[in-house]
Amino acid sequence: MPLTRRIFLGTGAGVLAQAQTVAPSDRISVGMIAVGSRSHELLEAIKKVDGTEIVGVCDAYSGRVQRAIERTDGRAKKYASYKDILADPSIDAVTIGTPDHWHRQMVIEALEAGKDVYCEKPLTFNIDEGLEIAVAAERAGKILQVGSQGISSDSTKMLRDWVQSGKLGQITMVRAAYNRNSPGGAWIYPIPSDASPETVDWEAFLGPAPEREFDLARFFRWRCYKEYSGGIATDLFVHLCTTIHYVTGAVMPSDVVAMGDLYRWRESRNVPDTLNAVLRYKEGFTVNLSSTFNSRADGGYGFQVLGTEGAAQLAGRTLTLYPDPAYDNNAWIVGAWPKKLEEAYYSTPEGRAELRPPKRTEEVYRDTGPAATVAHLADFFHAVGNRGANIEDAWDGHHAASCAHLINASAETGSMMHWDFERHRAVS
Ligand SMILES: NC(=O)c1ccc[n+]([C@@H]2O[C@H](COP(=O)([O-])OP(=O)(O)OC[C@H]3O[C@@H](n4cnc5c(N)ncnc54)[C@H](O)[C@@H]3O)[C@@H](O)[C@H]2O)c1
């Protein structure tokens, strides 16, 4: 879809056919809690969802507030803190784009203030928070959408169709990787030249995190520190786990084992720059997740679902099916038999089948649908408008984030971790 086109709420995400206009009085007014890098992308995406209006923003760094107000052509108002956004009864829904250690508190306060909530992934900073948030969302009767937007893309929906219809046969393995090889890829982001105690609200950033001295690296590169982030697992693997759960219908792995190491970016962090994890699902498949910030092996990103009838690969917006029907060529085995027996073999049904190799024509699906973030937000606002179901609720967010927390726990302790399906907690 061209970037200028808007998604209309009456149609639901990704379905643009019967667009319907929304009267200004019916607009969903949105407050943005934190307007950091990701939230500026959310802001631009919300502008493309008809029937919404961004009315307020807040952030712990003044430069980001200024830029966000510019992006709304001055229509959004600056609020001093997230509590002021929550206290404003004219605001219907909020987005939360703070670092991860703040999510639980802000989500719960927002639900209790009667707001519908779009919270960036990972939903939680630790496993216990997930159940608490899911219960709070149910109690409040509010919509909670978690922001792993990939599942709202047409290509992921197509992958889900392929998996669920049996087109790939029996799925036994999923492989996925995120690899990078640059400072920015390793979260060493540039720090704005005006950043100082005058422009940065350090106490607001810290919130529930341990007290420590003003530190611009921690403020702008918080993913590098376990006090605010779960590193690779919560930043990147959580997207992969959300997609894996969505396409397979599985809820959680039963067993998780991982290794994490810090090889290269030692000066800048206390979380690994290389992480490998294996997740076993009771549904009958295993997942291999890997990420390194020291090489862009395989072009950086890869997602493969391996089945007995074929493999699907998702790379960016291109989904490719590699058919792989069972086919044997035992020529090298029977070629070592007596000639007569070899000839006899090729007159049997198995032998004859080997003389007719199946066609393996690749199927390529190029996603030309809405950008995933726009579609994911449209799905959220559609649910807000209709009080219906949304694609990634608190339970989905809790489960995907819990995979990341199990991975980190395994990497830190050296033990295999298990999921207690009844009590929603980790068991080692
Ligand atoms: N869905 C995606 O693809 C995607 C991509 C990037 C980031 N994210 C998620 O979005 C969130 C934010 O990441 P980011 O890259 O935008 O980080 P960022 O550092 O650019 O933005 C975080 C913002 O939160 C602000 N903040 C911190 N505490 C605050 C408080 N108490 N009140 C108001 N503002 C506060 C900071 O000032 C900062 O501007 C994270 O949870 C991250 O995992 C998701």
pLDDT at 7: 53
pLDDT at 317: 93
373 CB-near residues (< 8 Å, 6+ apart):
41, 42, 45, 149
Query: What's the pLDDT band for 264 if we cut at 50, 70, 90?
Result: very high
Query: Does the C-beta of 38 come closer than 6 Å to ligand 1?
Result: yes
pLDDT at 6 over 90: no
HSE, side-chain direction, 13 A CA sphere, residue 139? 12
pLDDT at 9: 54
**Ligand 1 atom having least distance to the Cα of 238:** 43
User: Cβ distance 260 to 273 under 8 Å?
Assistant: no
Angle between helices 238-248 and 394-413 (to 10 degrees): 130
**Ligand 1 atom having least distance to the Cα of 39:** 16
- Which residue lies with its CA nearest to atom 9 of ligand 1? 120
CA of 40 to the centre of ligand 1 (A): 10
pLDDT at 140: 98
**Ligand 1 atom having least distance to the Cα of 106:** 31
Query: Does the C-beta of 398 come closer than 6 Å to ligand 1?
Result: no
Which structure tokens are listed for 76? 């959004």
User: Cβ distance 93 to 115 under 8 Å?
Assistant: yes
Q: Please give the average per-residue pLDDT across 251-277, as a whole number.
A: 98
pLDDT in tens, 73-126: 999 999 999 999 999 999 999 999 999 999 999 999 999 999 999 999 999 999
pLDDT at 343 over 90: yes
**Ligand 1 atom having least distance to the Cα of 60:** 37
pLDDT at 12 over 70: no
User: What is the overall mean pLDDT for the chain?
Assistant: 93
pLDDT in tens, 359-412: 889 999 999 999 999 999 999 999 999 999 999 999 999 999 999 999 999 999
Bridge-partner residues for 287, per DSSP? 174, 279
Q: Please give the average per-residue pLDDT across 251-266, as a whole number.
A: 98
pLDDT at 326: 86
Q: What percent of the chain has pLDDT over 90?
A: 90
Select from 81, 118, 120 the residue to mutate for testing ligand 1; criterion: most ligand atoms less than 8 Å from CB: 120
pLDDT at 127: 97
pLDDT at 173 over 60: yes
- Which residue lies with its CA nearest to atom 38 of ligand 1? 36
HSE, side-chain direction, 13 A CA sphere, residue 260? 21
pLDDT in tens, 18-44: 333 444 558 999 999 999 999 999 999
Of the candidates 44, 84, 92, 33, the one whose C-alpha atom is nearest the C-alpha of residue 383 is 92
pLDDT at 21: 41
pLDDT at 262 over 90: yes
CA of 161 to the centre of ligand 1 (A): 33
Contacts by residues 205-211 (CB-CB < 8 Å, ≥ 24 positions apart) = 205/60, 205/99, 207/101, 207/102, 207/105, 208/101, 208/102, 208/104, 208/105, 209/101
- What pTM does this model have? 0.94
